[in-house]
């Protein structure tokens, strides 16, 4: 028992000491000073709303492709004996230059032989024409001779009736008359055969000319020429190789003739509809897509045609953009000094298609919007929370048609806890406070 009472007393003493210390701390505490909060009117920066016209730009991406590309192949078999020195990947070829040629010796001999056949056929026709002329002269002479012998025959007959000429003389004259008549008949028969013989000669000439044309064509087919100013995309042949008809020997594409296939979302077509009326071609500005900022040159182009069907997978409208000739517009080609930035097939580009022009529209930065359809305006040093009609959001801009008036001051400064009609102070230019 004494031990228990002792422990109880110790606990009581500790509690009393703790209560004393707590009371002393409570009594000796300092009272906080009350300070009135000063109400500060916020200062804001504003930008004026400007009413004007804006071009509706539609953005799309695509890959550059050659407008005209040709796979080179021989139409006849043979061994390659000539390859243009610049026929290699990436090199430039001028129109009309010979790119590839096979051994022409046999073909040249065939052409010479066919040309000789043509010359021979023409000579035969000239001989027949001369023979025809000679037959005409011979026929005239034979007729004259026939007339003379006939007169002589008549004279001898008269003399024979009067017994002034012998029977032998009469038979001899009759024989001369028959001989002259036979000679005229032979010449006449020969003249009758002339048209048929001429037809045969002309057929022979036509056949020889066809053979010559074929030989010349085969000779022409033994070489491949560039049909336009071009770049070489691929080379798959060397001198000395034997090639077969239809074997692909290389690929070239036309210089400064590039296209881009783009796809426009259906909801963006509303900004392009009026531009296509009356055969219009929307203008396009192209840049290299994976170059940031102003590093990429800009190339001009235009929408050349719309594809016949909607893409079923992406539900977009396919269009083809033709890149305009680089030396014509704005000196673009001269501005591209870096050969690595020249447009080539396979480059991924961003196309900005110029759509219709909207009148009476406000174009403001997207950062000024407080909600999808709300702006903060400053009017007579008070905040106005204004609802507006946004017709489009594109890149960093917003296009508004209703809810703003020209000259309205749009607040761009942050305003936490903003309330409609609250007082504000519009900062002036150069005011840093």
pLDDT digits (tens, 9 = 90+) for 181-199: 899 899 999 899 999 999 9
Report the C-alpha gap between 375 and 366 in whole angstroms. 11
Phi, psi of 325 (to 5 degrees): -55, 130
Share of the chain above pLDDT 70, in %: 91
Instruction: Give the tens place of pLDDT for each residue, 291-311.
Output: 766 677 889 999 999 988 898
Instruction: Give the tens place of pLDDT for each residue, 353-394.
Output: 999 889 999 999 999 999 889 999 999 889 999 999 999 998
- Residue in the block written with tokens 């950062």: 367
What is the model's pLDDT at position 263?
A: 93
Task: Evaluate if residue 418 carries a pLDDT over 90.
Answer: no
Stretch 92-118: mean pLDDT: 94
The residues with which 399 forms a beta bridge, in sequence order, are 363, 392
Over the chain, what HEC string results?
CHHHHHHHHHHHHHHHHHHHHHHHHHHCCCCCCCCCCCCCCCEECEEECCEEEEEEEEEEEEEEEECCEEEEECCCCEEEEEECCCCCCCCEECCCCEEEEECCHHHHHHHHHHHHHHHHHHHHHHHHHHHHHHHHHHHHHHHHHHHHHHHHHHHHHHHHHCCCCCHHHHHHHHHHHHHHHHHHHHHHHHHHHHHHHHHHHHHHHHHHHHHHHHHHHHHHHCEEECCCCEEEEEECCCCCCEECCCCEEEEEEECCCEEEEEEEEHHHHHHCHHHHHHHCCCEEEEEECCCCCCCCCCEEEEEEEECCCCECCCCEEEEEEEECCCCCCCCHHHHCCCHHHCCCCCCEEEEEEEEEEEEEEEEEEHHHCCECCEEEEEECCEEEEEECEEEEEECCEEEEEECCCCCCEEECCCCCCCCCCCECEECCCCCCC
Give 418 or 348, the one with higher predicted confidence: 348
Report the C-alpha gap between 316 and 262 in whole angstroms. 9
Task: Provide the 10 A C-beta neighbour count for residue 74.
Answer: 22
Report the C-alpha gap between 136 and 194 in whole angstroms. 11
Burial per residue of 21-58, b for 16 or more beta-carbon CB atoms within 10 angstroms, e otherwise: eeeeeeeeeeeeeeeeeeeeebebebeebebeebebbb
Report the C-alpha gap between 120 and 127 in whole angstroms. 10
Under 8 Å between Cβ of 318 and 304? no
Question: Which of 407, 310, 373 lies closest to 47, judged by CA?
Answer: 407
Maximum average pLDDT range among 37-46, 70-79, 328-337: 70-79
Task: Evaluate if residue 210 carries a pLDDT over 60.
Answer: yes
- Residue in the block written with tokens 């106005």: 384
Fold of 105-217: Helix Hairpins (1.10.287)
pLDDT band at 159 (very low <50, low <70, confident <90, very high): confident
What is the model's pLDDT at position 69?
A: 93
Task: Evaluate if residue 255 carries a pLDDT over 60.
Answer: yes
pLDDT band at 272 (very low <50, low <70, confident <90, very high): confident
What is the model's pLDDT at position 425?
A: 87
Task: Evaluate if residue 326 carries a pLDDT over 70.
Answer: no
Task: Evaluate if residue 260 carries a pLDDT over 50.
Answer: yes
Q: Is the dihedral of CA 424, 428, 429, 430 positive or negative?
A: negative
Task: Evaluate if residue 28 carries a pLDDT over 50.
Answer: yes
Stretch 399-409: mean pLDDT: 92
Contacts of 357 (CB under 8 A, 6+ apart): 53, 54, 55, 56
Stretch 207-236: mean pLDDT: 94
What is the model's pLDDT at position 186?
A: 92
Give 156 or 217, the one with higher predicted confidence: 217
Q: Where in the chain is the domain with CATH 2.40.50.100?
A: 69-101+223-254
Task: Evaluate if residue 288 carries a pLDDT over 80.
Answer: yes
Q: What is the CATH code for 69-101+223-254? A: 2.40.50.100
Report the C-alpha gap between 14 and 12 in whole angstroms. 6
Report the C-alpha gap between 55 and 359 in whole angstroms. 9
- Which pTM does this prediction carry? 0.68
Task: Evaluate if residue 404 carries a pLDDT over 50.
Answer: yes
Task: Evaluate if residue 39 carries a pLDDT over 90.
Answer: no
pLDDT band at 333 (very low <50, low <70, confident <90, very high): very low
- Residue 102 token pair: 């096979």
Q: Where in the chain is the domain with CATH 2.40.420.20?
A: 46-53+361-426
pLDDT band at 329 (very low <50, low <70, confident <90, very high): very low
Task: Evaluate if residue 51 carries a pLDDT over 50.
Answer: yes
Q: What is the dihedral of CA 194, 200, 206, 207, to 10 degrees?
A: -160
Give 417 or 117, the one with higher predicted confidence: 117
Q: Cα–chain-centroid distance for residue 285?
A: 15
Under 8 Å between Cβ of 299 and 323? yes
What is the model's pLDDT at position 330?
A: 46
What is the model's pLDDT at position 417?
A: 82
Report the C-alpha gap between 20 and 28 in whole angstroms. 12
Mode of pairing for the β-strands spanning 409-411 and 374-379: antiparallel
Fold of 46-53+361-426: 2.40.420
What is the model's pLDDT at position 169?
A: 84
Task: Evaluate if residue 168 carries a pLDDT over 90.
Answer: no
Q: Is the dihedral of CA 305, 234, 107, 246 positive or negative?
A: negative
What is the model's pLDDT at position 50?
A: 92
Task: Provide the 10 A C-beta neighbour count for residue 339.
Answer: 6
What is the model's pLDDT at position 416?
A: 85
Share of the chain above pLDDT 90, in %: 55
Options 1.20.58.220, 1.10.10.10, 1.10.3720.10, 2.40.30.170; CATH for 55-64+257-358 is 2.40.30.170
Burial class (CB in 10 A: 0-12, 13-18, 19+), 218: middle
What is the model's pLDDT at position 162?
A: 79
Stretch 299-327: mean pLDDT: 87
């Amino acid at each position: 028992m004494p031990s228990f009472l002792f422990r109880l007393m110790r606990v009581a003493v500790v509690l009393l000491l703790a209560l004393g210390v707590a009371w002393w701390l409570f009594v000796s505490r300092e009272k906080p000073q009350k300070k009135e909060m000063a109400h500060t009117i916020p200062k804001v920066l504003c930008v004026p709303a400007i009413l004007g016209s804006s071009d509706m730009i539609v953005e799309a991406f695509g890959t550059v492709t050659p407008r005209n590309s040709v796979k080179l192949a021989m139409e006849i078999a043979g061994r390659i004996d000539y390859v243009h020195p610049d026929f290699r990947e990436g090199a430039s070829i001028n129109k009309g230059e010979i790119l590839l040629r096979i051994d022409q010796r046999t073909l040249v001999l065939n052409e010479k032989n066919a040309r000789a056949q043509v010359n021979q056929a023409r000579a035969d026709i000239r001989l027949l024409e001369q023979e025809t002329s000679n037959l005409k002269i011979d026929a005239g002479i034979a007729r004259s001779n026939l007339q003379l012998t006939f007169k002589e025959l008549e004279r001898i007959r008269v003399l024979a009736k009067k017994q002034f000429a012998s029977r032998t003389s009469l038979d001899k004259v009759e024989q001369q008359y028959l001989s002259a008549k036979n000679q005229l008949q032979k010449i006449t028969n020969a003249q009758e055969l002339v048209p048929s013989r001429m037809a045969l000669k002309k057929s022979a000439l036509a056949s020889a000319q066809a053979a010559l044309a074929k030989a010349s064509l085969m000779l022409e087919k033994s070489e491949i020429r560039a049909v336009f100013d071009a770049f070489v995309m691929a080379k798959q042949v060397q001198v000395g190789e034997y090639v077969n008809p239809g074997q692909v020997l290389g690929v070239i594409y036309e210089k400064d003739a590039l296209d881009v296939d783009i796809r426009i979302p259906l909801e963006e077509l509303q900004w392009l509809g009026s531009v296509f009326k009356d055969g219009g071609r929307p203008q396009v500005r192209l840049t290299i897509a994976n170059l940031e900022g102003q590093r990429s040159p800009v190339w001009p182009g235009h929408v050349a045609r719309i594809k016949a069907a909607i893409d079923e997978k992406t539900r977009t409208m396919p269009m083809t953009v033709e890149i305009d000739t680089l030396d014509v517009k704005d000196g673009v080609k001269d501005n591209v000094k870096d050969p690595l930035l020249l447009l080539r097939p396979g480059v991924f580009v961003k196309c900005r298609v110029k759509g219709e022009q909207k009148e009476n529209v406000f174009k403001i930065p997207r950062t000024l919007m407080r909600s999808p359809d709300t702006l903060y305006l400053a009017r007579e040093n008070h905040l106005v929370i204004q609802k507006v009609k946004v017709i489009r959001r594109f890149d960093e801009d917003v296009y508004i048609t209703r809810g703003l008036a020209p000259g309205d001051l749009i607040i761009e400064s942050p305003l936490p806890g903003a309330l409609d009609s609250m007082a504000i102070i519009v900062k002036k230019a150069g005011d840093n406070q």
